A and B are shown apart, each in its own frame.
Chain A
Amino acid sequence: MADKKNQVSRRQFLNYTLTGVGGFMGAAMIAPMVGFAVDPLLKGEKDTDYVYVMDVNEITNEPQRKTFQVDQVDGWYESKVDRTAWVYKDENDEILALSPVCTHLGCTVDWNSNQDFPNEFYCPCHDGRYDKNGVNIPGTPPTEPLHSYDFQIQDGKLMLGKAKARKGA
């Protein structure tokens, strides 16, 4: 049997077929379970709704802290969760709505709250600082500017969407 060149012996043949068929059956069993487990990766990002926060004519040059609620669907649990934004107009009269989440490690920043650093966004956790445009001040822990909310203006009302990293701010 095995003395002819390149011939598969009976034992090898059985090994290959049994391993192959067994492997196939095992894979068929495991595959749906793995898909089940990695489902959060397959879900992708959800569309965000824009939520009313304040009237445009109330926006000042001084950052105002605004809280609003968004609907959150967390698997089988649906709830409303609070979001906060610092809303103001910058020196070019452009509207900015900044997320208060520090880009260092995610603490909450406050405007003009530290006497040593007036007119800055200040993070109490590790002395992270941002200038009035929300740009991180070199030499402090944050590595990028505060994220800004996407916004829309409908009939003079400011509607906020998702907070995203700012390009080149």
Chain B
Amino acid sequence: MLQKMYDWIDERLDITPIWRDIADHEVPEHVNPAHHFSAFVYCFGGLTFFVTVIQVLSGMFLTMYYVPDIVNAWESVKYLQTQVAHGQIVRGMHHWGASVVIVMIFLHTLRVFFQGAYKKPRELNWIVGVLLFFVMLGLGFTGYLLPWDNKAFFATQVGLEIAESVPFIGGDLKTLLAGDPEIVGAKTLARFFAIHVFFLPAALFALMGAHFIMIRRQGISGPL
């Protein structure tokens, strides 16, 4: 049945070469854990991507109930966690996944660093990777405020003061982030929500696209 549907579409649109081009590539022996168990270190990049997918999906579903408003934010999080079916699991995935993704990025970075895989011709991909790391930290920072509990509020207070400590532009930077020179409040929450669900994910997807195109073009670095 499925095969027939696929054939029907393929006969008209010739889609096989499109996905073949993406799917067909050799996995070199030195990155295959079945050959050398120590090759599991090559999994961290893929695991980062896997956890990112979980973050995107669980985040999409969370916005079905969450509202970025200082009166209702905390109540809506409480409601979705305690009253909605599987709410604790879905919020838990997003909460713990946020930490796991940072850990995975860090392990992936360590592997690339200690294997010297960032060297020519892969310097550009290293730079994109570092940008991805910053975007991910930004997602963590902005997402932390959204439940609008005490921990969120004071962590953001501290984060904003760190931004303020930047020479010359610190004050403006803080105002830009918080949406107000003094208050951490309604405008801050709305802003952080927008950054968390629209701006940073857009940057994340663009950078991930570049990251993957480059690795496919250049191949995985050779054995040590």
Contacts and interface: CB of A to CB of B under 8 A. Distances in A.
Interface in A23-76: 29-30, 32-33, 35-39, 42, 75-76
Interface residues of B, number: 20
B85 interface: yes
A32 B84 contact: no
Interface in B74-107: 75-76, 78-80, 83-87, 89-90, 93
A36 B81 CA distance: 10
B154 interface: no
B212 interface: no
B86 A32 contact: yes
B54 A39 contact: no
Closest 10 CB pairs of A and B: A32-B86, A76-B75, A76-B79, A32-B89, A35-B86, A39-B85, A35-B85, A39-B84, A33-B61, A36-B90
A77 B74 CA distance: 12
Given A30-B57, A36-B61, A76 B76 contact: yes
Interface of B: 54, 57-58, 61, 64-65, 72, 75-76, 78-80, 83-87, 89-90, 93
Given A29-B57, A75-B65, A36 B75 contact: no
A36 B57 CA distance: 12
Contacts of B79: 75-76
Interface of A: 29-30, 32-33, 35-39, 42, 75-77
A42 B65 CA distance: 15
11 contacts: A32-B86, A33-B58, A33-B61, A33-B90, A35-B86, A36-B61, A36-B89, A37-B61, A37-B64, A42-B85, A75-B79
A123 to B, nearest CB: 35
A75 B58 CA distance: 20
Given A36-B86, A77-B75, 4 more contacts: A36-B85, A37-B61, A76-B72, A76-B76
Nearest to B72: A76
Contacts of B93: 32
A99 to B, nearest CB: 29
Nearest to B80: A36
A26 B46 CA distance: 15
A38 to B, nearest CB: 8
B86 A29 contact: no
A39 B58 CA distance: 15
A11 to B, nearest CB: 15
A76 B80 CA distance: 9
Contacts of B65: 75
Of A29, A32, A36, which is in contact with the most chain B CB atoms at under 10 Å from its CB? A36
A145 B126 CA distance: 71
A134 B54 CA distance: 54
A81 B165 CA distance: 50
A36 B75 CA distance: 17
A35 to B, nearest CB: 4
Contacts of A30: 57
A40 B84 CA distance: 8
A28 to B, nearest CB: 10
A57 B93 CA distance: 59
